[in-house]
A and B are shown apart, each in its own frame.
Chain A
Amino acid sequence: MENEIHTGTNRTGMKASPVDARKLLEVRELQTTMPDPEVDAVALRAAYLTEAGPVGSMPPPPTLRGMAGTAMKALTGKKMHVLLDKIAERAAFERTGTRLYDMMLQKVAVAPALPAGMTIDGVREIRDEEHSHYLLLAAAIETLGADPTAMTPCADVTGVQGMGLVQAMGEPRLTIAQALSTLLAAEVIDNASWELLIDLAQQFGQDELVAQFTEALAAEQRHEATVRQWMATALTEEAGL
C-alpha cells in the first residue's frame, strides 16, 4: 500500500481544465430564470417529516425480572426502555468499533512504515478493549432483564451513522493517517456517547453500571488520546516537518 499522498493528476477542480472551465462558466449566463415550483422541497420534506413514525420500537421485556424492573421504574415515572435503548446503541457501536480496529490491524500489518510510537500491539490493545466494552454492555442489558441480541431503534440509527466509518475503513487505498482520522471520528463519538450514557444511568440509580461504565469511559479517553497522538505524528512525518 502507498502510505503517502503525492501531488499528481487530480482532474476534479476548475483549474485542472482552464479552457473547458471557461466554457462551463458560460452556463451561468445561458440559464434562464424558471418559475418557482408549486410544491418546493421544503414542503415535500415537511409532509414526510410530519407523517413519519419512528424507525421501530423497543422489544418488550422478555424476563420476569425485566418486566418487574420496567414496571417498578414505570411507577416512578422513569422509562427503563430509554436507558436500555442507549445501552444497546453503545453495544452496537462497540461491536462496529471492534470491526473498525480489526480492519486497522490488517492495514497496519502491511503498512510499509508506521508513525513513530504506533505499534500493532497498541492497535490490538484498543481493539480488545472495544470488544470488552461490547461484552460489558451486553451483560448490562441482560442484568436489566432485556435481550442483548435485539437491534433497538438507537442501535439501528448508530448503525446508519457508522456506515460511513465502515465504508472508509474498508477502502484499501486509505493511508494510515486517513485510517487514523476515521478511527478518531469513531472515538470522539464514542467518548461523548459514553459520557451521556453514564449520566443517564446515574439518573436511573444504576450505581453498579455507572461504576463499570466509568471505567470504560476512562479507556475510551485513552483511546482517543492515543489515536489523536498517532495521527498527529503521522501528519507531521508525512509533511516532512
Chain B
Amino acid sequence: MAIDLSNIKGCPLEQQRFTWRELVQHPISKLDDDTFTRVRIILLNGLEHEALRFSHAFARMSRDMRAPLARVRRVEQHQHTMINWLIGADHSPLETTIAYEQVAIEITAAVAQAEPDPYLAQTYRFGLLEDFDHMYRYSAMLDRLEGKDANNILQCYTDILPGRPTVVEHRDPDDDLRNPFDAKTAHPLSKLHALTIMAAEQQTHNYYMNIGPLFSDPVARLLYAEIASIEEQHTTQYESIIDPDQTWMEQWLMHEFNEVYNYYGAVRQESNPRIKAIWERFLDYELGHLQYVMELFKQVERRDPMEILPPVMPEPIAFASQREFVRQVLLQEVDLRADGPDFVPMEQEPDGSRAYRRQLNAEGSPTEAVAAGYVWNPGTELALPAEQQK
C-alpha cells in the first residue's frame, strides 16, 4: 500500500462524521491484546492531542484560519476521543502509566535508530534513557503500592531496569533546549520523528498532571510530581528540535502529514482486526485533512505543498521490542548530561543544572525513595521468599 502524496484521495472533510456510540467503542483487552496494540493507541492518542493543542495555538494567532482550523479540529477531537476511550477501565492509572512509558521507550528507541540526523538521534537516545528510568520507578511503585507486576502490561517486550537516574534528570531550563533542524534541508523523517516524539511526551506530561492528584498515597503523589516535571522538560527538549522558522501553515501541513504517516504505520502493523479498521478509517480521514490543508497552503502561501512533503510516504516507525538497542545505549550513554544544546560527560555538566536539582531534591527524591533496593522480579517482589524482600 504505497501512498503517492502528490495525488491523494482521502475522505472529504464534510463526510467525516461520528455518533457517540461510534466514539465510545469496546476497549481493548488488557489481558489478551498484544501490548503493541496499546502502544499504537497511546501514540496516536498523543498525536490527536497535539493536533488539538497546535490548532488552538494557531487559531489564537490567525483571524483568517480560525474557521478552517475549527472544522478540522472538531474531527480530530472526536478521533482523539475514540482512540483514548479504547483503553479499558481495568487499567489502574499506574498500569496506564507503565503503558505510557513503554510507548516512550519503544517508540523513541525505534525513532533513534531510524533518524538520519546524528545530532537528533543522540537527542532521542538521551531522552530515551530518562524514560527508561521512569519505567523502573513506576514499576517499583506499582509493585509496592498495588501489589502488581508491571510486566503484566509490558508482556516481556521491555526491560525494567534503572536508566539515567531520574534524580539527576532535573536540569536548568537552558540545558533542556536543543538545536533545531533546518526545515529547508532536514530529511522528511527528521521532521516526522520530532513531531511524533514531541506529541508523545506532551501527552505523557498532560496525563501525569491529570492523574497525579488521583492518588491518595503521598509517595505516589510525590512520584508523579517529580516525573511530570521531567516530562515537561522532555516536551521542552523535543519542541526545541523543531525549526521555529516554519510558517504556521507549514507547521499545520506537517502536523497533518505526520498524522497520515503514523496512521499509515499503525494500519501496516496492527494485529487486532477491529482496531486496524479504526486505523484504516482514520488514515482515510487524515488524508482528507492533508488534502484540505494542502489546498489552503497553496492559497495562503502561494507555494506548492510538494516543496514541503516528500513524494512518497517514508518507511513507518517500527512497533517492536527494541531491547538490544536500549541495553546498548544504556551501557554507553547513561552518564551523559546536557550543557545547553550539547551532550557532555557527567563531570562537565554546568553548575546551573546541579544547583537547580540540589534545591529540588533538598528534602529527598521521590523517585529514589520509591525504588530503594528494587529489583524487578516475576510476579512482584512479594513472590520472593520473605527474607529476600526489602
Which A residues are within 8 Å of any B CB, using their own CB?
8-14, 16-17, 20-21, 23-25, 27-28, 30-31, 34, 36-41, 43-45, 47-49, 160, 167, 170-173
Contact = CB atoms under 8 A, between A and B. Distances in A.
Interface residues of B, number: 43
Nearest to B154: A24
Given A28-B377, A45-B219, A12 B159 contact: no
Interface stretch (B71-79, B287-295, B358-366): B358-366
Contacts of B365: 37-39
A170 B377 CA distance: 33
A173 to B, nearest CB: 8
A34 B219 contact: no
A39 B364 contact: yes
A152 B376 CA distance: 41
B168 to A, nearest CB: 12
A40 B156 contact: no
A36 B372 contact: yes
Nearest to A22: B156
Contact of A20 (B157, B368, B370, B376): B157
Given A28-B375, A39-B363, A11 B369 contact: no
A173 B378 CA distance: 27
Interface string B366-387: 1011101101111000000000
Contacts of A43: 364, 369
Contacts of B312: none
B78 to A, nearest CB: 22
A27 B364 contact: no
A52 to B, nearest CB: 8
B151 interface: yes
Given A20-B157, A34-B162, A11 B368 contact: no
Among all A-B residue pairs, the 10 with the closest Cβ atoms:
A39-B364, A20-B156, A37-B368, A48-B218, A12-B152, A17-B156, A41-B369, A21-B156, A10-B31, A9-B32
Interface string B160-188: 11100100000000000000000000000
B162 A44 contact: no
A14 B373 CA distance: 23
Chain B CB within 10 A, most for which of A23, A24, A48:
A24
Given A25-B378, A37-B369, A10 B32 contact: yes
B22 interface: no
Nearest to A20: B156
A23 B157 CA distance: 9
A172 B222 CA distance: 34
Contacts of B33: 11
Contact of A39 (B34, B369, B378): B369
A27 B158 CA distance: 10
B152 A44 contact: no
Chain A CB within 10 A, most for which of B88, B89, B218:
B218
Contacts of A12: 30-31, 151-153, 155
Given A10-B32, A14-B378, A17-B155, A41 B89 contact: no
Interface of B: 26, 30-35, 88-90, 144, 151-153, 155-157, 159-162, 165, 216-219, 222, 321, 323, 327, 363-366, 368-370, 372-373, 375-378
Given A14-B378, A23-B323, 5 more contacts: A25-B378, A31-B376, A36-B372, A38-B365, A171-B89
Given A20-B321, A171-B90, A40 B369 contact: yes
Nearest to A36: B372
A209 to B, nearest CB: 32
B364 A37 contact: yes
Contacts of A34: 162, 165, 373
A37 B372 contact: yes
Contacts of A48: 218
Contacts of A23: 156, 159, 323
Contacts of B375: 27-28, 31
Given A24-B151, A171-B89, A44 B364 contact: yes
A11 B378 CA distance: 14
6 contacts: A11-B35, A11-B155, A16-B155, A24-B159, A45-B218, A173-B88
A41 B32 contact: no
Nearest to A25: B378
Chain B CB within 10 A, most for which of A36, A37, A40, A47:
A37
A34 B365 CA distance: 14
B161 A41 contact: no
A40 B371 CA distance: 9
Given A37-B365, A39-B363, A44-B366, A160 B89 contact: no
A170 B89 contact: yes
A48 B152 CA distance: 31
Contacts of B144: 41
B155 A31 contact: no
Contacts of B90: 171
B156 A31 contact: no
A218 B303 CA distance: 80
A118 B165 CA distance: 56
B216 A160 contact: yes
A11 B372 contact: no
A44 B218 contact: yes
Nearest to A30: B161
Contacts of B156: 14, 16-17, 20-21, 23-24
A65 B375 CA distance: 61
A36 B32 CA distance: 38
A24 B323 CA distance: 9
A213 to B, nearest CB: 30
A12 B148 CA distance: 12
Contacts of A24: 151, 156, 159-160
B89 A167 contact: yes
A27 B160 contact: yes
